Amino acid sequence: MNDNLLIGILGKSKSGKTFTWDTLFCKSVRTGKNLRRLYFNETEYVEVFLLSRSPQKRHMSVESIISNNKPRIVLCSMQYVLGVKKTLSYFSKNNFFLFIHWLNPGFKDENDSPLFYNSGILNHILSKNSIVGVRNGKENPELRVQEIKDFIYGWAKSRNLVKLKRLRKK
């Protein structure tokens, strides 16, 4: 059983990665230094670490971005380039289950598909404990965001990571 969870959004620039995170949190979000709450409803939430801008685009390693947080759940944008293998390897070495949405292959990224297939990125992901789904990032994100939330909730609930917000007494 994997102790940690990576929710990865893989795609080229402007494929919908940031829009997916913004929809998930119902507001514009960026990478921070601390864990943040991801709410499932008014009272239940989990703590996650968000990398809204990919380590590849930042020219930084995942380790240096996450630093001392030791998150159990990481939400990570991943740039669709060869260097993504290094990011994926970090997560698999650190006992993360990989839940990946690959945005837009075959939906206007036709010229880039050989990079993904011929470079072994897909085989790399599939050889780990993983689920990979292909999604059209040009479409309304509501369905893919709900799919992500449902997966996180089930995974976190089975590990007693879902927390309850304290309600104020009136």
At 161, is the secondary structure helix, strand, or coil? coil
The structural domains of the chain, with segments of one domain joined by +, span: 4-164
Pick the CATH number of 4-164 from 3.30.1490, 2.60.120, 3.30.70, 3.40.50: 3.40.50
Nearest partner of 20 among 143, 162, 154, judged by Cα: 143
Residue 119 has pLDDT above 80, yes or no: no
pLDDT digits (tens, 9 = 90+) for 16-32: 899 999 999 999 998 87
Q: For a pLDDT cut of 90, what percent of the chain falls above it?
A: 48
**Residue 61, H or E segment:** none
Decide which of 70 and 156 is more confident.
156
What predicted TM-score, i.e. pTM, was given to this entire model? 0.88
pLDDT on residue 113: 53
